[in-house]
């Protein structure tokens, strides 16, 4: 377990201790907020994880090897901990291609489409959606230089499906933002429904002893859900403590950087989990909302549970470059957002 996750687990324990004291420190509510945030998500997350891991173990993936660009499509649609990384790892053996599609792409665009879109578009109020989507646009632009750099070591033709996805996104943003927003909301709703159906299959497999999901996979999925829930709980506790005890230092630092305190707190929490900023998002300024949404595309989870998952599935070198490129993409997204705001 990485140090950042350990710290957040420590804060979660503090929140649980406060809950035993009936909220004497004012932190017990953070645990309840985390449980409420993760409630419905746990069902689809567990369903996705179990089904995709099972499929990658049991299906013959030789047909995917005939189409190497399939790893780009998978990486663009699935986050690493929702099956994207293990699925790509099972048939892509070139290190450069694996890092681009199985590590970086799944943790950015794949995480955005399969994980963050369903959560943010489902939890945020409709009036927040336009600013969120505008920020996401800058986040996607921030990924382009890194994708081009990483593609120098592989066949550039493999990236054609990725740039087709990019082209469709930017065409929608240029021609009709409201239509694109509705389509993405439908897509997110579709992912939510598929996730619930996957959970139903897992449920039937367990209680009726059907051969769809193994017990080991189910236990791994439950442990993953438990870990994410505790990380989110720790993030909520940390946020509450920062707001209460570090207001003046944060105000000085944010004046130096030209951003608001609430914006900076959101960025720091996103390093562990972008879900943690949901409670803060409505309190941010319009610029802060754009900056946090832009940063979430690449920078989110760079030091949190996603990093822990990738560290467990790959080697130290891969994990190091994962952190470097994730943070670089996030910083580029912030720069583009600030530059646009100043015009």
pTM: 0.75
Residue that the structure tokens 């350990």 belong to: 6
**What band does 143 get if pLDDT is binned at 50, 70 and 90?**
very high
Q: Domain segments of the chain: what residues?
A: 3-342
Tens of pLDDT, residues 63-93: 555 566 788 888 888 888 777 887 788 778 8
**What band does 223 get if pLDDT is binned at 50, 70 and 90?**
confident
pLDDT of residue 105: 93
Q: Is the pLDDT of residue 61 over 70?
A: no
What DSSP letter does each residue of 198-261 carry, written as one string? HHHHHHHHHHTT-TTS-HHHHHHHHHHHHHHHHHHHHHHHHHHHHHHH-HHHHHHHHHHHTS-H
d(CA 341, CA 258): 12
Residue that the structure tokens 């960025």 belong to: 267
- Are residues 8 and 272 in contact, defined by beta-carbon separation less than 8 angstroms? yes
d(CA 27, CA 10): 13
Tens of pLDDT, residues 277-300: 887 898 899 999 999 999 999 999
pLDDT of residue 82: 73
More confident residue, 39 or 160: 160
Residue that the structure tokens 């080991």 belong to: 216
**What band does 331 get if pLDDT is binned at 50, 70 and 90?**
very high
- Are residues 38 and 226 in contact, defined by beta-carbon separation less than 8 angstroms? no
Tens of pLDDT, residues 90-118: 778 889 889 999 999 999 998 988 778 77
Q: Is the pLDDT of residue 191 over 60?
A: yes
pLDDT of residue 118: 72
**What band does 195 get if pLDDT is binned at 50, 70 and 90?**
confident
Q: In the structure encoding, which two tokens stand for residue 242, read together?
A: 């920062």
Q: In the structure encoding, which two tokens stand for residue 299, read together?
A: 């920078």
Q: Is the pLDDT of residue 325 over 80?
A: yes
pLDDT of residue 275: 81
- Are residues 301 and 269 in contact, defined by beta-carbon separation less than 8 angstroms? no
d(CA 73, CA 50): 20
Residue that the structure tokens 């992912």 belong to: 191
Residue that the structure tokens 């929140």 belong to: 15
Q: Is the pLDDT of residue 41 over 70?
A: no
Tens of pLDDT, residues 152-173: 888 777 778 888 877 887 787 6
More confident residue, 251 or 15: 15
More confident residue, 127 or 308: 127
Span 230-245, mean pLDDT?
78
The chain-wide mean pLDDT, for the chain, equals: 81
């Amino acid at each position: 377990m990485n140090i950042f996750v350990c710290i957040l687990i420590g804060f979660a324990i503090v929140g649980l201790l406060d809950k035993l004291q009936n909220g004497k420190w004012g932190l017990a509510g953070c645990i309840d907020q985390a449980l409420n945030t993760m409630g419905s998500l746990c069902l689809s997350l567990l369903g996705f994880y179990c089904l995709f891991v099972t499929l990658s173990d049991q299906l013959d993936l030789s047909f995917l090897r005939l189409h190497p660009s399939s790893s780009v499509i998978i990486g663009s649609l699935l986050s690493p901990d929702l099956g994207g990384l293990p699925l790509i790892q099972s048939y892509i053996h070139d290190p450069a291609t694996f890092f681009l599609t199985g590590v970086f792409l799944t943790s950015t665009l794949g995480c955005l489409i399969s994980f963050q879109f369903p959560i943010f578009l489902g939890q945020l109020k409709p009036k927040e959606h336009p600013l969120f989507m505008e920020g996401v646009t800058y986040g996607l632009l921030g990924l382009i230089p890194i994708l081009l750099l990483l593609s120098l070591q592989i066949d550039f033709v493999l990236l054609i499906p990725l740039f087709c996805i990019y082209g469709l996104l930017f065409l929608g943003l240029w021609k009709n933002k409201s239509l694109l927003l509705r389509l993405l909301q439908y897509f997110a709703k579709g992912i939510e429904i598929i996730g619930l159906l996957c959970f139903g299959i897992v449920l039937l497999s367990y209680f009726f002893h059907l051969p769809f999901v193994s017990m080991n996979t189910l236990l791994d999925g439950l442990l993953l859900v438990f870990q994410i829930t505790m990380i989110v709980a720790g993030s909520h506790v940390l946020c509450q403590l920062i707001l209460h005890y570090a207001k003046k230092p944060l105000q000085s630092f944010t004046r130096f950087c030209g951003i608001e305190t609430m914006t900076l707190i959101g960025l720091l929490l996103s390093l562990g989990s972008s879900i943690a900023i949901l409670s803060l998002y409505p309190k941010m300024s319009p610029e802060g909302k754009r900056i946090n949404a832009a940063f979430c595309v690449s920078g989110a989870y760079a030091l949190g549970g996603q990093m822990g998952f990738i560290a467990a599935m790959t080697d130290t070198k891969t994990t190091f470059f994962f952190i470097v490129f994730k943070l670089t993409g996030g910083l580029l997204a912030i720069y583009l957002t600030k530059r646009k705001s100043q015009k």
